[in-house]
A = this chain, B = another copy of it.
Amino acid sequence: MMKNLVIGQSGGPTAVINASLYGAVKAFRESGADGHVLGMINGIEGFLADHVMDLSTDLSDEELELLKLTPAAYLGSCRYKLPADLDSEVYPAIFDNFREMNIGYFLYVGGNDSMDTVDKLSRYAEKIGSDVKFIGIPKTIDNDLVLTDHTPGFGSAAKYVASTVREIVLDASVYQQRSVTIVEIMGRHAGWLTAASRLARKYEGDNPCLIYLPETPFSLEQFYNDLDAAFKKSPNLVVCVSEGIADEGGTFVCEYSDAAKLDSFGHKMLTGCGEVLESFVRDKFGVKVRSIELNVNQRCSGMMVSETDIEEAAMAGAAGVKAVLAGETKKMIAFKRDSDMPYKMHCTPEDVSLICNQEKKFPKEWINAAGNDITDDFSAYALPLIQGEPKRVMENGVPKYLYRK
């Protein structure tokens, strides 16, 4: 009997979440299955409000190709956590929609929280004896999902970070006067993306000279000593830090200024750790100092996407369709690495209940003993993920992307 597939995007945007959507739509079309692919507008939250579009009919082949290279989340996203209690009335509402829309297959592209959604819906289906199948497609620039070698979105974000930091290093080195440039990179709990700044370093002694991740306790005293030592070798220092660096006691560095810093309206200002460290350096060294927050473009830029990442994200979408049509459920498509050089990997479904709500930290053994640099082992791991550049589609001098009006 003909069944439709519904797919949604959830959590923060990445450069390749739409490539997974592309891969899924394309694979479903090519599978010969005679249902439609429906897209949830704004994830499960929108789906609850019957907000869907028909991706089988509403996207031309040309638009589908453009979708593959479009960053952010074409369908819109949500941050909606399903209730832990499977007796909640939300579940029957969702499954009523499945019946009404004749849904047999459910794909959800996202990170930790989205995998939690896949897990809960699978368990509810089990509970009520529904035969709807649920598969998660991984997506996060944080690269913090367990049971997968890496996640789609990380490679492009890592390539953007490495390339951007390389350019910041050039920019920071033009004057003779001593200076410190602090680059704050996304990563609240895991340092994967900040570690990618290591790939910007071209020779021994080159910038970035210091890299700090949340996995090592941060101390202002060590930071002072590290900078002092680095100034003996070079006048212009570039330092990369994760937004989530914290001290031995677990206090985030970005919280250091909370007490002192009020805005003109009397409220606490939200400060990044980069700004806190900027003030510290200005105070202690009296040199020119600047902090740069890479901000949302590190996750959503199409300017420096990795072709490897794009292709793998599409592959994950296609693998999700294949798995769900084969009757698999309660799984996430994981990546297994077969070799570094030449780089080879394949997709395999893993139990989503073992993945959701878990966090894969950056390995301690890839951080140097002093806790201020990344080892070459990480480079060997990360380099294959940032290779290749797809041909960009331009319109009037800016990248052409697909959007819902």
Give the interface of A toward B (CB within 8 A). 9, 13, 42, 45-46, 70-73, 76-79, 159, 162-164, 166-168, 170-176, 199-200, 202-203, 256-257, 259-267, 269, 275-276, 279-280, 282-283, 290, 292-293, 295-297, 299-304, 306, 383, 386-389, 392, 394, 396-399, 401, 403, 405
Residues in B with CB closer than 8 Å to A388 are 397
**Nearest CB of chain B from residue A166's CB, rounded to whole Å:** 5
| A162, closest chain B residue (CB) | B398
**Nearest CB of chain B from residue A91's CB, rounded to whole Å:** 21
Given contacts A162-B398, A403-B170, contact A176 B279 (CB under 8 A): no
Residues in B with CB closer than 8 Å to A168 are 296-297, 300
| A176, closest chain B residue (CB) | B42
Let me know if A383 and B396 touch, CB within 8 A. Answer: yes
Residues in B with CB closer than 8 Å to A173 are 72, 76, 403
Let me know if A280 and B262 touch, CB within 8 A. Answer: no
Chain A binding surface, main DSSP class: loop
**Nearest CB of chain B from residue A20's CB, rounded to whole Å:** 15
Given contacts A203-B405, A397-B383, A397-B387, contact A171 B300 (CB under 8 A): yes
Given contacts A171-B296, A296-B168, A397-B387, contact A279 B267 (CB under 8 A): yes
When chains A and B are docked, how far (Å) is the Cα of A276 from the Cα of B267? 11
Given contacts A72-B167, A77-B175, contact A159 B398 (CB under 8 A): yes
Let me know if B292 and A170 touch, CB within 8 A. Answer: no
Residues in B with CB closer than 8 Å to A170 are 13, 70-72, 300, 401, 403
| A79, closest chain B residue (CB) | B175
Let me know if B296 and A267 touch, CB within 8 A. Answer: no
| A181, closest chain B residue (CB) | B296
Residues in B with CB closer than 8 Å to A399 are 163, 166-167
Let me know if A42 and B164 touch, CB within 8 A. Answer: no
Residues in B with CB closer than 8 Å to A175 are 42, 76-79
Q: Which of B77, B159, B304, B389 contacts A174 (CB 8 A)?
A: B77
Let me know if B260 and A300 touch, CB within 8 A. Answer: no
Let me know if A171 and B275 touch, CB within 8 A. Answer: no
**Nearest CB of chain B from residue A68's CB, rounded to whole Å:** 14
Let me know if B302 and A167 touch, CB within 8 A. Answer: yes
**Nearest CB of chain B from residue A338's CB, rounded to whole Å:** 20
When chains A and B are docked, how far (Å) is the Cα of A368 from the Cα of B199? 45
Let me know if A389 and B394 touch, CB within 8 A. Answer: yes
When chains A and B are docked, how far (Å) is the Cα of A119 from the Cα of B77? 57
When chains A and B are docked, how far (Å) is the Cα of A299 from the Cα of B167? 10
Residues in B with CB closer than 8 Å to A280 are 265
When chains A and B are docked, how far (Å) is the Cα of A367 from the Cα of B333? 51
Let me know if B264 and A163 touch, CB within 8 A. Answer: no
Let me know if B263 and A261 touch, CB within 8 A. Answer: yes
**Nearest CB of chain B from residue A245's CB, rounded to whole Å:** 15
Residues in B with CB closer than 8 Å to A282 are 267
- Most B C-beta atoms less than 10 A away, residue of A262, A267, A276, A295: A295
Residues in B with CB closer than 8 Å to A262 are 260-261
Q: Which of B264, B290, B397 contacts A276 (CB 8 A)?
A: B264
Additional A-B contact list (13), CB under 8 Å, known A269-B279, A292-B295: A42-B176, A72-B167, A72-B173, A73-B174, A78-B175, A164-B303, A168-B297, A199-B396, A257-B264, A260-B264, A261-B263, A263-B276, A264-B276
Residues in B with CB closer than 8 Å to A70 are 170
Residues in B with CB closer than 8 Å to A200 are 398
| A397, closest chain B residue (CB) | B386
When chains A and B are docked, how far (Å) is the Cα of A330 from the Cα of B380? 54
Let me know if A176 and B261 touch, CB within 8 A. Answer: no
Residues in B with CB closer than 8 Å to A269 are 257, 261, 275, 279
